[in-house]
Amino acid sequence: KITLFWFRRDLRLEDNTGLFYALQQEQNVLPLFIFDQNILEKLEDKADARVEFIHAQLSEIKTQLEQKGSTLLVKFGKPEEVYASLLTQYEIQAVYTNRDYEPYAKERDHAVDLLLKEKGAALFSFKDQVIFEPGEILNGSGEFYKVFTPFSRNWLDKYKQTKVQPLQNPNWKNLLQTSPIPMPSLEEIGFVKTGIPIPPKITDEAIISHYDQTRNFPAQKGTTRLGIHLRFGTISVRQLAQVGARLNETYLNELIWREFYMMILAFNPQVVDKAFKPAYDRIPWRNNPEEFRAWCEGKTGYPIVDAGMRELNETGYMHNRVRMIVASFLTKHLLIDWRWGESYFAKKLLDFELASNNGGWQWAASTGTDAQPYFRVFNPDSQTEKFDKDLKYIKKWIPEFGTDKYPKPIVDHKFARARALETYKKALEQ
Ligand code: FAD
């Protein structure tokens, strides 16, 4: 009889809650990862740095497990079908895993749970990717918070009361001892290498110490760039929260935003394709395809917007301040549906995370909960003046800046601002 530990977005051996408890409570634990065909099929570009990253991370975990006399079982397919086949191959008594709160993940886990139950096996799930999961931080009436500040206050109080500690020294002797099982190559799962570098998994305490002063300046290395590691769990959020609590609460506050948006999505799964505030779905988006293309390519003639889009296209990363500016520009200056921008980001961002991406876009478009009021339209020039005064970031990403090769603005700021205000106002008055 064996127990499986099912890795998903928790690709690490240290401080991994579900794995820790599997090894504490069961014997013959065999770790498993499934390249989920349902997810991979949706990725149009087969050169995807995130898939490449997951693959590389799994190879590393597999080597580490093999040094302990065990291995990592890596499958490619639809999770239910993979489990149906594993149940015929192994005598599985339980599956341990860490909870995932996205709508698709919840459905998938429910289906797998039913399948396992039919065969007399149990699915045990644990909290791992967050400090507090959706439902743990509620207001006085037991409802979810719609506003961030009271949510974050409650979160911080609870964090200070609860001793959230990383888990140490898992009981490795309960791993199934077995010879290595080969894993499929990147090509075998339908993908190719990209050459895009992944920001290293280093917790730079100097950056976190100065975070409140440096985080808004895109030309500086003033944020951690650990987004992808939080996304795939190659780093533990408990470890980062501890560092934040010790060094800089502004940084900790950003980790709380991450959990706020996860909570919003869990309680309001409709936000995946609808405005959180339904009236905002009445906005008649212009959705001009040429303007959208100019935005995607970083050719709007607004340097701070274009620099951001080029950074994204080249590296899979964009600084948070610039994400806010480009998202505001797309939705307000160009009146293009936030869902178009959201899905472009979803394709390109290494740290793409459904909840934060949706939350960030709905914030910028003013359609979200606790969003920017609709009449606030970022002025790209004053944002540049405040956050990239020396034009260092702009010049880095736009080599032709200042020459006649650089395009003229595709829309006049004053005109666009007035048009946005009028369009939003009219739609909301209906
Ligand atoms: P740091 O500044 O070092 O922050 C630490 C961590 O806190 C981040 O890694 C992230 O996990 C979390 N975090 C920081 N800011 C936010 C925020 N505003 N909301 C939620 N979590 C936050 N973040 C994503 O992780 N995935 C996305 O797909 C995503 N899309 C976004 C889209 C838009 C339009 C906007 C405005 C923001 C988006 N963000 C997203 C939030 C934020 O921009 C990124 O988390 C951050 O820029 C990542 O860089 P970093 O790792 O250096 O973050």
- Tens digits of per-residue pLDDT, 65-81? 999 999 999 999 999 99
pLDDT at residue 165, as a whole number:
84
pLDDT at residue 215, as a whole number:
97
Mutate to test the pocket of ligand 1, among 254, 329, 343, 347 (most ligand atoms within 8 A of CB): 254
Residue type, 77: G
| Average pLDDT for 83-92 | 97
Instruction: Report the separation in Å between the CA atom of 345 and the middle of ligand 1, taken as the mean of its atom positions.
Output: 12
Q: Is 81 a catalytic residue?
A: no
ipTM over 0.85: yes
The helix or strand, by DSSP H or E, that contains position 77, with its residue range, turns out to be strand 73-77
pLDDT at residue 237, as a whole number:
97
Residue 25: is its pLDDT beyond 90? yes
| CA atoms lying within 13 Å on the CB side of residue 168 | 3
Q: Locate tokens 């341990």: which residue?
A: 96
Q: How confident is the model at residue 303 (pLDDT cuts 50, 70, 90)?
A: very high
Where helices occur in 248-298 by DSSP H, the ranges are 249-267, 289-297
- Nearest Cα neighbor of 272 from 361, 144, 360, 358 is 358
Helix (H, G, I), strand (E, B) or coil at 377: coil
- How large a percentage of the chain has pLDDT more than 70? 100
Joined together, the tokens standing for residue 237 give 């959020």
pLDDT at residue 430, as a whole number:
81
Joined together, the tokens standing for residue 350 give 């290494």
Q: Is 169 a catalytic residue?
A: no
Q: Is 130-165+202-267 in CATH node 1.25.40.80? A: yes
Contacts of 360 (CB under 8 A, 6+ apart): 261, 323, 324, 327
Question: ∠ CA(203), CA(197), CA(70), 5° rounding?
Answer: 70
Q: Is 211 annotated as a binding residue?
A: yes
The helix or strand, by DSSP H or E, that contains position 383, with its residue range, turns out to be helix 380-387
Q: Locate tokens 């797309």: which residue?
A: 330
Contacts of 289 (CB under 8 A, 6+ apart): none
Q: Are 126 and 97 in contact (CB under 8 A)?
A: yes
Instruction: Report the separation in Å between the CA atom of 320 and the middle of ligand 1, taken as the mean of its atom positions.
Output: 6
Joined together, the tokens standing for residue 138 give 């509620």
CATH code assigned to 1-128: 3.40.50.620
Q: Which neighbouring-strand residues pair with 7?
A: 33
| Average pLDDT for 290-294 | 98
d(CA 247, CA 128): 22
Q: Is 341's C-beta closer than 6 angstroms to any atom of ligand 1?
A: no
Q: Which of 14, 60, 136, 254 is catalytic?
A: 254
Q: Which neighbouring-strand residues pair with 3?
A: 29, 94
**CATH fourth-level superfamily of 272-429:** DNA Cyclobutane Dipyrimidine Photolyase, subunit A, domain 3 (1.10.579.10)
Contacts of 231 (CB under 8 A, 6+ apart): 9, 350, 351, 352, 353
d(CA 335, CA 284): 8
Mutate to test the pocket of ligand 1, among 250, 258, 263, 370 (most ligand atoms within 8 A of CB): 258
pLDDT at residue 282, as a whole number:
97
d(CA 234, CA 363): 28
Q: How far is CA 385 from CA 12, 215, 250, 307, 411, in A?
A: 42, 16, 23, 15, 20
Q: Is 6 a catalytic residue?
A: no
pLDDT per residue as tens digits for the range 393-411 = 999 999 999 999 999 999 9
pLDDT at residue 164, as a whole number:
84
d(CA 398, CA 277): 37
Q: Locate tokens 């192994």: which residue?
A: 90
| Average pLDDT for 120-143 | 97
Residue 44: is its pLDDT beyond 90? yes
pLDDT at residue 37, as a whole number:
97
Q: Are 244 and 336 in contact (CB under 8 A)?
A: no
pLDDT at residue 166, as a whole number:
87
User: Model pTM greater than 0.95?
Assistant: yes
State the span(s) of the chain assigned CATH 1.25.40.80.
Answer: 130-165+202-267
**How high does pLDDT run on average in the chain?**
97
Q: How confident is the model at residue 172 (pLDDT cuts 50, 70, 90)?
A: very high
Q: How confident is the model at residue 239 (pLDDT cuts 50, 70, 90)?
A: very high
Q: Is 351's C-beta closer than 6 angstroms to any atom of ligand 1?
A: yes
pLDDT at residue 163, as a whole number:
83
Q: How confident is the model at residue 26 (pLDDT cuts 50, 70, 90)?
A: very high
Q: How confident is the model at residue 84 (pLDDT cuts 50, 70, 90)?
A: very high
pLDDT at residue 371, as a whole number:
92
Helix (H, G, I), strand (E, B) or coil at 76: strand
Residue type, 237: V
State the span(s) of the chain assigned CATH 1.10.579.10.
Answer: 272-429
Q: How confident is the model at residue 157 (pLDDT cuts 50, 70, 90)?
A: very high
CA 255 to ligand 1: nearest atom: 7
Give, as one character, the DSSP assignment of residue 316: S
- Backbone angles phi and psi of 29, in degrees to 5: -90, 125
pLDDT per residue as tens digits for the range 258-269 = 999 999 999 999
Joined together, the tokens standing for residue 366 give 């003013």
